[in-house]
Amino acid sequence: MRAMVYRGPYRLRVEEKDRPPIEHPNDAIIKVTRAAICGSDLHLYHGMMPDTRVGMTFGHEFVGVVDEVGPSVRNVQPGDRVMVPFNVYCGSCFFCARGLFSNCHNVNPNATAVGGIYGYSHTCGGYDGGQAEYVRVPFADIGPSLIPEWMDDDDAVLLTDALATGYFGAQLGDIVEGDVVVVFGAGPVGLYAAKSAWLMGAGRVIVIDHLDYRLEKAASFAHAETYNFGEYDDIVVHLKKITDHLGADVAIDAVGAEADGNLLQHVTAAKLKLQGGSPVALNWAIDSVRKGGNVSVMGAYGPMFSAVKFGDALNKGLTLRMNQCPVKRQWPRLFEHIRNGYLKPSDIVTHRIPLEHIAEAYHIFSAKLDGCIKPLIVPNPA
């Protein structure tokens, strides 16, 4: 089969690989019909995530058709059109039994601090991902769901991480009616978080980024008030000014490990890999939210230490909430919202690129060329 293969920081190619076999009785093999590149894939691509091995296939956002199932699989069968959450999870451990699917203890031998994620380094379990023609899906009775007939692949693939994560991020903010919500980052997760904040009754939604084309999307797609932090000497002071010097009630970090806005932080984290991530957006969230407010962290960070301003968080009495999204818990409600026309996930897709050109897709997404917000990968173009 054809598959994306990591060759080193900033380098990847498409290679012929063996089709994955069934390795466990509850495995399924999925023929991928649509995959996506996630902003967090760029941390792997840039060599930031420890134990990212040459030869690995990335991709934790994918949908497809069941091609083969193991002997104990009951809930899906060959030919089924399925969407697969980015979480690999068993459904039966201490954490899964409490709905913490992203924190499953039975799928990642390499680390206890994170569950299993498809195509996301050995730190997240060593599973090949879905930027390929076929992918192995463990616990096929637990994670995958049938794609509703009325939903197309482009929308479905965005439910496997980006939309679910943005929606989850807004929930972690504990938004109540009339809250002022500031979202750092107008990438896919930030756009969905901003849109979700309205569903939860926000009174004002502000989105911060430095890319004008993404801020335009935040205004049109998420009805948000937008500010380009590149135009301000100090975006925190500006946010205080526009919130009557109170600060926002809720701040959401939808940027994560490669945040810009502070050269020292960015270079030490993203370029020199001396931190788990560049916490610029997180520090801005801490500083711009009001005392007693909530900070929701959806941006992905590596397992190493990062220079986060915990002193300010303590002194302001903030509540910091974060987790990888337990995707499947969000689906029934998100299906309703899509069906009712409140959300149209694929409105943010800017590029559809054949698997054979995935090196270009990563470069375009990474360098923010061509107005790129969300690139989809098509393994088998018609």
Question: Quick check: 348 and 217 in contact, CB under 8 A?
Answer: yes
Q: Which of 41, 61, 80, 128 binds other proteins (CB under 8 A)?
A: 128
Shortest Cβ 308–other proteins spacing (Å): 16
Q: Interaction with other proteins in 131-170: which residues (CB under 8 A)?
A: 138-139, 141-142, 168
Structure tokens at 333: 């409600």
CB of 377 to other proteins, least distance (A): 13
Nearer to other proteins, 152 or 370 (CB): 370
Q: Does 199 bind other proteins (CB under 8 A)?
A: yes
Q: Which residues contact 163 (CB under 8 A, 6 or more apart)?
A: 188, 192, 330, 334, 343, 345
Site size for other proteins (CB under 8 A): 121
Q: Which residues pair with 132 in a beta bridge?
A: 3
Among 78, 146, 152, 201, binds other proteins (CB under 8 A): 201
Give the residue from 130, 158, 82, 151 showing the smallest Cα distance to 348.
158
Contact criterion met (CB below 8 Å) for 181 and 252: yes
Instruction: State both tokens at 322.
Output: 């974060």
Residues 13-32, one symbol each (x = binds other proteins by CB under 8 A, - = not), give x-x-------xxxx------
Helix (H, G, I), strand (E, B) or coil at 378: strand
Q: Which two tokens stand for residue 4?
A: 């994306």
Q: Contact at 8 Å (CB) between 259 and 285?
A: no
122 or 352, CB closer to other proteins? 122
Shortest Cβ distance from residue 331 to other proteins (Å)?
8
**Rounded-to-integer distance, Cα 140 and Cα 29, Å:** 9
**Residue 322 is a binding residue for other proteins (CB under 8 A):** no
Least separation in angstroms between residue 273's CB and other proteins is 6
Cβ at position 183, least distance to other proteins in Å: 15
Contact between 116 and other proteins per CB under 8 A: yes
The number of beta carbons lying within 10 Å of the beta carbon of residue 210 is 17
The interface with other proteins within residues 259-278 (CB under 8 A) comprises 260-261, 263, 266-267, 271, 273
Euclidean distance between CA atoms 126 and 239, whole angstroms? 41
Residue type, 216: E
Nearer to other proteins (CB atom), residue 59 or residue 153: 59
Contacts of other proteins in 88-107 (CB under 8 A): 88-92, 96-101, 105-107
- Please list, in sequence order, all residues whose beta carbon lies within 8 angstroms of the beta carbon of residue 367, skipping any fewer than 6 positions away: none
DSSP state for residue 26 in the 8-state scheme: T
Burial of residue 315 (CB within 10 Å: 0-12, 13-18, 19+) is exposed
For residues 342-361, which are near other proteins according to CB under 8 A?
A: 342-343, 357, 359-361
> At its nearest, how many Å lie between other proteins and the CB of residue 242?
10
d(CA 318, CA 290): 8
Q: Is 309 in the site for other proteins (CB under 8 A)?
A: no
CA 323 to CA 340: how far, in whole Å?
A: 28
Per CB under 8 A, the list member of 79, 177, 311, 382 interacting with other proteins is 177
Residues 43-72 that bind other proteins (CB under 8 A): 47, 50-57, 72
Among 3-11, 33-41, 182-190, 292-300, the segment contacting other proteins (CB under 8 A): 3-11
Nearest to other proteins of 111, 349 (CB atom): 111
CB of 167 to other proteins, least distance (A): 8
Decide: residue 377, CB within 10 A, 0-12 exposed, 13-18 middle, 19+ buried. buried
| C-alpha dist (Å) from residue 192 to 145, 165, 172, 198, 324 | 21, 8, 14, 10, 15
Q: Which is nearer to other proteins, 111 or 236 (CB)?
A: 111
Hey, which residues between 209 and 248 contact other proteins (CB under 8 A)? 210-213, 223, 228-231, 243-247
- Between residues 151 and 211, which has the closer beta carbon with respect to other proteins? 211
Nearer to other proteins, 57 or 153 (CB): 57
